[in-house]
Amino acid sequence: MRSNGYVRYLAWAVFLSFMAPAIAATLDASQLPKVQAATFEVVVPKTENPKITYDRPLPLDALPFQVRNDKYNSIGTAFAIGQNRYVTASHVAQLGIGGLFGKPMLRDAQGKVYAIDKVLQYSLGEDFMVFSLVDGPNVAPLKADRGSHLNESVYAVGNALGTGVVVRDGLYTSNTPEEQDGRWRWIRFSAAASPGNSGGPLLDKDGDVIGVVLRKSPNENLNFALPIDRVLDASTKVSESNERSTSHPEFMDATHTGTMHMRFDLPMAFDDFAASWQKQDDAFTDQQWQALMAREDAKVFPRGDVSHAVLSSTAPINAYPEVLHRTPNGTWERSMPQHHRNNTVNNGYLDAGVAGSHVLFHFRKPDGMSLASLVADPKAMMDEMLKGSQLTRDVGVEKVRITSLGSPSVDTVFVDRWQRHWQRREFDLPFVDVGVLVYTLPVPDGFVGIMRYAPAQQMHVARTQLEVAVNFFSASYIGSLDDWQQYMKLTAWLPAPVAASRLDIDYGKRFAFTSPAFSLTFDTGVQRIEPAGNIALPFSFIDRGDGVKLDIAGISVRQDVNKTADVRINRHPKPFPDAPERSQGAWNQMLKHEHPQDGIPFKKDDTTWAGMVAGTPAAEPKALYTLFYGDDGSPPDATMKDKLDKLMKGTTIQEH
């Protein structure tokens, strides 16, 4: 399939451009002029995003003269095989499809650049493309040799990324069957090959072409070339390819292998070919994911017994997001990647961690900054996040910090299966041909979200995977009382359970929160009610008989973010029959109002707590609610019981 290593490829390209000598092999010197004339670089234009800014001027003088002055990036090799007929590796040409650099072109030894006109022959599996040029040069094509040269000397030719034709010698060692179905045999050879050789000719001792150099061997110095007769004998009227590909979602242990069928009527203008290629590739991606999810449907959360552990768990309170994933034994569980917090300004921070190919993050906005303004201005939001990131641009051996990605190239809304409205932004990093996908949910103190970096050619694949992954993403909604009052005004971005709730705050007097499932009211006789107080709403996957929903699963109200004077309501779903004994035991304790739900104060982690089962449970409840009051001082038991009693009177449970 399409190469996904282009970022690594560029690093190799820069390295190899300094390491390769201009001429290095034992091919007869008389053959070199014709080989040099018929061999070309495949290049793409260098592009910059003028909206990107840095913390200092880019130290371009640290780059070699050729690299900093070249207007193009070299991505491979091509060579002439007929009158205005050229061949390269298809994976090289495909780097110019759907990316940020633009269309691939050929560059000759004198530096003249030629645009590709038409695709004449193509094979996805055999990895070649034959094409013509617009106003191409008059060069003598390399002669093809269909004969067998096993155990003979061969020469791998590549333009070596702008430093001149490099010829490396080796031995034609074997013929290896194609991996999928043995439909043809690869030439295996020991001549050294670098990324710059991809698409170049493999020559015999007479300078005739016997194959097209395609790829390095990952584990040994035996590289791959396609016999030239596979190119010469390919249809000039139609290209049809059937190649297997496997998809693997990161959130569950499952794979799906499908066959991608590509068809092109030839010859075809390169722009039309690229558009058709992209359309067929995107359609196959969609088919793969639809087939995988349909096959796994009965075992994908929240379906089946494998989801019971999550559905019967009490939601934790975490500002940092968590994700669900299916373990190798088939059960779903909550997980949270290791994450690290970097401070920004004015008590803001970016807390981020890596989960597979994704970056999960919680961005707390700086104090005094309007959440509404950041929601409305994606550039400003990303600029603030970058203050807590380590996103850099490599310039030679130096790393230059990026301070702004500018305005996004895509700014739209994505609605997930739980009806949450995500802000979907995409930012371009054209200097490495990479896109940045950022999906964010506004929360009272800033944003939670998921981010992914992907080669620009693979943005559709990355987008598809990410938009499935967000369905397994959850976080608590946390912020100060003042944050919450501002947040509740952003009606377009409120999750449905929050939009259906009411928050009433009268500083210094009264606090009230009402949701469809429960309500809580108290006054300053319980704890202070000030703008710096803190509210946390944990979310969980809840089934109340009308299907599983991502819903509010309790509340925590603290008098400030640091001091633990905490009013807390928790929802506890009834365990499934297959739940562990400890879960059944905890449920039975709540049903009997046993400790710690007996109203008797107790000490835990330097905090005194007192709790009760709230409301009047049904005879066979599907869920119970507990109400706890905590104080990090050492209040008398009578004070704790008095405050708990006041809270019980101010609490109503609507769910039974």
Per-residue pLDDT tens over the stretch 84-120 = 999 999 999 999 999 898 899 999 989 999 999 999 9
Q: What angle do CA 263, 265, 270 make, to 5 degrees?
A: 95
Answer whether the bond into residue 302 is a cis peptide, omega within 30°. Answer: yes
Length of the chain: 656
What are φ and ψ of residue 258, in 5° steps?
-130, 170
Residues 208 and 635: their CA atoms lie apart, in Å, by: 92
Three-class SS state of 153:
strand
b/e sequence 301-337, b meaning 16+ C-beta within 10 Å: bbeeebbbbbbbbbbebbbbbbbbbbeeeebbbbeeb
* pLDDT score for 485: 97
- The encoded tokens of residue 550 equal 């991502």
* pLDDT score for 9: 36
- In this structure, which long-range contacts are made by residues 337-342, counting pairs with CB atoms below 8 Å and at least 24 apart in sequence? 341/388, 342/388, 342/389, 342/390
H or E element that contains 465: helix 459-469
Q: Give the mean pLDDT of 623-646.
A: 95
Q: What tens digit of pLDDT does each residue of 207-221 get?
A: 999 999 998 877 767
- The encoded tokens of residue 37 equal 């004339």
pLDDT at 5 over 60: no
* pLDDT score for 495: 97
Is residue 592 within 8 Å of residue 644, measured between CB atoms? no
Three-class SS state of 171:
strand
Is residue 162 within 8 Å of residue 17, measured between CB atoms? yes
pLDDT at 255 over 80: yes
* pLDDT score for 24: 37
b/e sequence 154-172, b meaning 16+ C-beta within 10 Å: bbbbbbbbbbebbbbbbbb
pLDDT at 17 over 60: no
> 326 - beta bridge partners?
252, 332
Residues 367 and 390: their CA atoms lie apart, in Å, by: 22
Residue written as tokens 């599907």?
Answer: 622
Listed residue (247, 443, 448) closest to 361, CA to CA: 448
- Work out the percent of the chain whose per-residue pLDDT is above 70: 95
Residues 507 and 558: their CA atoms lie apart, in Å, by: 14
Q: Give the mean pLDDT of 132-155.
A: 94
Question: How many other C-beta atoms lie within 10 A of the C-beta of residue 368?
Answer: 9
Q: What tens digit of pLDDT does each residue of 486-524 get?
A: 999 999 999 999 999 999 999 999 999 999 999 999 999
pLDDT at 164 over 90: no
Highest-confidence segment of 149-163, 189-203, 437-451: 437-451
Task: Compute CA 81 distance to the chain's CA centroid, rounded to the nearest angstrom.
Answer: 41
* pLDDT score for 605: 87
Q: What tens digit of pLDDT does each residue of 269-309 get?
A: 999 999 999 999 999 999 999 999 999 999 999 999 999 99
Place 165 in a pLDDT band, splitting at 50, 70 and 90: confident
Is residue 113 within 8 Å of residue 107, measured between CB atoms? yes
**Predicted model pTM:** 0.90
Is residue 106 within 8 Å of residue 43, measured between CB atoms? yes
Beta strands in 159-286 (DSSP E): 166-177, 185-189, 201-203, 209-215, 223-227, 238-247, 256-265, 268-269
- The encoded tokens of residue 445 equal 């103190």
Mean pLDDT of the chain: 92
Contacts of 495 (CB under 8 A, 6+ apart): 418, 419, 420, 441, 477, 539, 550
pLDDT at 589 over 60: yes
> 180 - beta bridge partners?
none
Place 317 in a pLDDT band, splitting at 50, 70 and 90: very high
Q: What tens digit of pLDDT does each residue of 393-404 get?
A: 999 999 999 999
pLDDT at 343 over 70: yes
Answer whether the bond into residue 596 is a cis peptide, omega within 30°. Answer: yes
Listed residue (130, 76, 143) closest to 107, CA to CA: 76
Distances (CA, A) of 443 to 143, 318, 493: 66, 13, 9
Task: Compute CA 213 distance to the chain's CA centroid, rounded to the nearest angstrom.
Answer: 32
Contacts of 293 (CB under 8 A, 6+ apart): 300, 468
Residues 518 and 528: their CA atoms lie apart, in Å, by: 22
Is residue 610 within 8 Å of residue 628, measured between CB atoms? yes
* pLDDT score for 562: 79
pLDDT at 568 over 50: yes
* pLDDT score for 162: 56
* pLDDT score for 196: 82
